[in-house]
Amino acid sequence: MSIDRLQSKLASEHRKRHRCRLKKLIYRMYQRIKCMVKDMHQKCSKWLSVNYDEVLLPKFATSEMTQTQKRISSKTSRAMLTWSHYKFKVMLANKMGRTGGRMIECTEPYTSKTCSRCGRINYTIMKQKMFQCPHRNNVLDRDVNAARSIYLMNENLLAWTLRVHQSGVPTLRC
């Protein structure tokens, strides 16, 4: 049963014993979700810090997005706040610092609408899963296109260095 349904039951319940049980159940569900989110943060930040020297993390102002003036439903706002994006950012920065890497906070304006090949903005894309550039016939998954656009827009923030691989072949790495 979802937390929303339990809370609506709690609001209409008049018996004290049942209210106490419902409150405990709701509390346990919130704690379970909180532990799952923390576990996901720890696993993702560890994996990123072990496998990458530098990580680009776009600014994600959840509190600004969830304000009442915005056109986001309360369910979406609650889901965004549940993921605790700021806590993940802090944890990732700490883990990257411990492993000798660095986390770079970057911007992402129009990345879902910008073609990662030609750089033109497609204003007609709304909720489509695939990005299609009208100028180059470039068809990519929307998230892959956005990730490429973020990388290309913020490429200047990365520290490009020439490293020598174990085989003795020099390679460019960021």
- Per-residue pLDDT tens digits for 139-157: 888 889 888 888 888 888 8
The pLDDT score that the predictor gives to residue 96 is: 94
Q: Which region among 11-15, 19-23, 73-77 has the lowest average model confidence (pLDDT)?
A: 73-77
Q: Give the residue extent of every domain in the chain.
A: 36-173
Q: What is the dihedral of CA 138, 143, 146, 151, to 10 degrees?
A: -110
Say if residue 1's pLDDT is above 80: no
**pLDDT for 24-49, tens place per residue?**
999 999 999 999 999 999 999 999 99
Summarize pLDDT for 78-112 with one digit per residue, the tens. 888 889 999 999 999 999 999 999 999 988 888 88
**Residue 26 φ/ψ region, left for φ over 0, alpha for ψ in the -120 to 50 degree band, beta for the rest:** alpha
- pTM for the predicted model, two decimal places: 0.74
Instruction: Find out whether 122 and 134 touch, Cβ atoms under 8 Å.
Output: yes
Closest CA relative to residue 37, chosen from 2, 83, 79, 94 = 83
- What Å distances lie between residue 57 and 1, 54, 90, 113, 154, CA to CA? 35, 10, 11, 18, 10
